[in-house]
Structure 1
Amino acid sequence: MTWAQHLRESYGLPVFDFPAADDDTEPPGDAAELPAADAVAWRIAADTYDSEESWPEAFARFCAAVDTTRVRSIVVGAWPDAYDSGPEPVIEALLDARAKLPALRALFLGDMESEECEISWINQGDVKPLLDGFPELEEFGVRGGSGLVIPALTHRNLRSLTVETGGMPAAAVRGVAGSDLPALEHLDLWLGTSEYGGDSEAADVAPILTGTRLPRLRHLALRNSEIQDEIAAAVASAPVVARLDVLDLSMGVLTDEGAAALLAGQPLTHLKKLDLHHNYLSDALRDRFRASLETAGVTLDLDTDGADEDEWDGRVWRFVAVGE
């Protein structure tokens, strides 16, 4: 199953694909054929394989066809050879256009499906220049962990941060954890596996769990991790949990050990939702969660879809939802 799918919505707007250079529209991106600039989130992409147009060239066509002063959300899709080349030309093009994008409030970097580039093959880079260059951003997301750099930073207006990877580098996890994000309400980190560069430990998310730098956080997702049990145990006593509406520990290798630690920790009955889908829990543990939380009105997702076990050479192997 592929979980890395094209975004359908960004900043509350439907995602619209800006026409490719070989589109039948004459000229491609004719303003008469396009929605209002502020009515959609604009997905701008080039072909990953054998592209005849670079991403900056596609973006230049976009800027010529659309009233960029009204654009509220940009979704960066594929760029040529994303499995070999990073997003530096994309980032440079966006930064060069800052003055043309005064209304931009949402940006997603690397919206590619597996047919374009597997999530762990996407070459990423340092995203801090984008966050520094667009201080009015309220939503930022990035897909792909290879080469991903997120140093500790300060951003006063960011309300949502999403990092989707099959393996998030520990340095990037620590960078997010060390950032000052006073407006952040939604944080979603796909930590991944060591096989694809996800070398973080539960201690790396400790500053997130204190909540000190995240006073407005209401939705916390630390998911898709091979150390999901350790993450769950750390969350069980985390101060930030008391103010959350949604806690998401899904998509990873969560077993009875981590689930029992979570249940034995602080109360979770104040949550609106606890998401544990794609888990490896016994029926007995699932029943304990239902008895403890569903009766208190918490929406509970315990779906095991895709969480298959393999036994080989006397060992049971369990997998995260998104690896390669």
Structure 2
Amino acid sequence: MATSNWRTGSLRSPTLSYVHHVERFYGLPAFNFPPYADPADLPPADAVAWRLDREPYENEESAEDCWKRFTESVDLAKVRAIIFGQPWYDGDGGLGTDDLVGLAPRLTGLEALFLGDLEDEQAMISTIYLGDLAPVLAAFPGLRELGLRGGDGLDFPVSGHDQLRVLRVESGGLPPDSVERIAAARLPSLERLELWLGDENYGGGVTVEQLAPLFAGEGKPALRHLGLQNSFIQDELAGAVASATVVPQLTSLSLSMGALSDEGAAALLEGQPLTHLQELDLSFHFMSQEMMLRLWTALEPAGVRVDLSVRHQPEPDDWDEDGFYIAASE
């Protein structure tokens, strides 16, 4: 939530976690498809986002049996959104995207898909395997929203998708080549793009140069929200944003969850005007109180909702002399 008070900063909270099960998706409440459910007790197929989630050692029913029941109990033609948890992703012995693609002729109303809905205790966010998404995007031309958690093996087609409106990738280490392909992808209907870039020690490490097509606004003429988050290069990203061609078409911008310091904030203030934005999310940052006041004074009176919450201070130690950290890595 945006804040109208520049002092709403707090020091590091060790209990803060940004990785939770999805509670709402595509405007619908998430509904766990229950074990051995009576079809008569299930909600209407189009009223919920169906979550398929099975802990492999805590359920008598296998993922395969659960999937079979789901396909037989729910009117698939009316399903609008599906959330896949454990073990419903490739690479861990469960069902994979091939099983989903195989049902495309019956899932004619599917508009939203979330892959890898696992929490911290289930898997490291940087290691959740996603694989090649080209078959999924090709099988569902009517897809409007795609949520991904993980990044390992992610291959996003540069050919893109005509109808996708929202793309969100949550990762503790998003592979640079994956980010580069998303940045270059043709997504003419995309309105919201959110990328958690992560830590190079966990597979991340994208450079500003690899994001050049995105900063230039290439292939994404409808983009209105851009989130480049959760990285150690937030200052460099802020410097690129300060002169990026894509910025004037945006209504909101997020550089949250990462190592943004006074250097990056100063670049934002000294670059192109940001007063056309409705919201600027800089939460989880390492800025000084003085810089927070400068941002608030420059942007809030112009009507920009500036989120400066969750302020941290660097914590140098024997392993990291700078002491900066990001919201989600492992």
Regarding TM over 0.5, the answer is: yes
Q: Distance in 1 between matches of 2:19 and 2:157?
A: 24
What's 1:5 paired with?
20
Partner of 2:37: 29
How far residue 132 of structure 1 moved from its aligned partner, in angstroms, is: 1.4
Identify the match of residue 290 of structure 2 among 267, 284, 295. Answer: 284
How far has the Cα of 1:212 moved from its partner? 2.3
Q: Tell me which amino acid in the other structure corresponds to 2:49.
A: A
SS of 2:306's equivalent? strand
In structure 2, give the amino acid aligned to 1:17.
Answer: N
User: C-alpha separation between the residues in 1 aligned to 2:93 and 2:281?
Assistant: 33
Match of 1:126 in 2: 132
C-alpha deviations, 1:209-234, integer Å up to 9, x for none?
A: 11121100001000001111111110
User: Structure 1 residue 193 and structure 2 residue 193: aligned?
Assistant: no
For the pair 1:274 / 2:280, whether they are aligned, the reply is yes
Q: Does 1:16 align with 2:11?
A: no
Structure 2: how far apart are the matches of 1:275 and 1:198?
22
Q: Is 237-246 or 54-63 further displaced after alignment?
A: 54-63
Structure-1 residue corresponding to 2:83: 75
Q: SS of the residue aligned with 1:281?
A: coil
Measured after TM superposition, the shift of residue 258 of structure 1 is 1.0
Count of residues in correspondence between the two structures: 314
Query: Following TM superposition, by how much is the alpha carbon of 1:96 offset from its aligned partner in structure 2, in angstroms?
Result: 0.8
Contact kept, 8 Å, 1:191 with 1:200, in 2: the verdict is yes
Instruction: Tell me, yes or no, if structure 1 residue 220 matches structure 2 residue 226.
Output: yes
| Aligned position for 1:66 | 74
Higher relative contact order, structure no. (Cα contacts within 8 Å, ≥ 6 residues apart): 2
Residues 83-162 of structure 1: matches in 2 within 5 Å?
A: 85=92, 89-162=95-168
User: Where does the alignment leave 5 or more consecutive residues of structure 2 unmatched?
Assistant: 1-15
User: How far apart are 1:122 and its partner, in Å?
Assistant: 1.7
- Cα deviation digits, residues 6-50 of structure 1 (max 9, x gap): 111111111111113xxxxxxx12112211100001001121546
Cα deviation code 1:231-284 (max 9, x no counterpart) = 111011011110111100000110111111111110000100000000000111
TM-score, normalising length: structure 1: 0.92
Kept in 1, the 8 Å contact 2:184–2:218? The answer is: no
Corresponding residue of 1:234: 240
1:309 equivalent in alignment to 2:314: yes
Q: Within 2, Cα distance between the matches of 1:48 and 1:146?
A: 21
Q: Using the TM superposition, give the Cα deviation of residue 129 of structure 1 relative to its aligned residue in structure 2, in angstroms.
A: 1.4
| TM-aligned CA deviation for residue 146 of structure 1 | 2.0
- Please list the CA deviations of residues 152-194 of structure 1 after superposition, one character each: whole Å capped at 9, or x if unmatched: 1221000000110001001100110111000000000000010
SS at match of 1:148: coil
**Cα distance in 1 for residues equivalent to 2:34 and 2:151:** 28
Distance 1:290 1:97 in 2: 50
The one-letter amino acid of 1:129's match is P
AA paired with 1:242? P
Q: Secondary structure at the match of 1:258?
A: helix
Q: Residue 264 of structure 1 is aligned with which of 260, 266, 270?
A: 270
1:55·1:90 contact (CA, 8 Å) conserved in 2?
A: no
Taking a change above 3 Å as real, the CA distance of residues 316 and 48 of structure 1, as seen in their structure-2 partners, is farther
Counterparts of 1:248-263 in structure 2, within 5 Å, are: 248-263=254-269
- Counterpart selection for 1:41 from 40, 49, 54: 49
Q: SS of the counterpart of 2:97?
A: helix
Identity %: 46
Deviation at 1:118, TM superposition (A): 2.3
Instruction: Structure 1 unaligned segments of length 5 or more: list them.
Output: 21-27
How far does the alpha carbon of each residue in 1:81-111 deviate from its partner, in whole angstroms, 9 at most, with x for none? Answer: x796277x32011011111100000001001
Distance 1:282 1:36, change over 3 A: same
- 1:318 aligned counterpart, secondary structure: coil
- Report the counterpart of residue 65 of structure 2 in structure 1: 57
SS at match of 1:204: helix
Aligned-partner Cα distance in 1 for 2:226–2:62: 36
1: CA distance between counterparts of 2:244 and 2:72? 49
Deviates more, 1:47-56 or 1:192-201: 47-56
Structure 1: how far apart are the matches of 2:327 and 2:315? 14
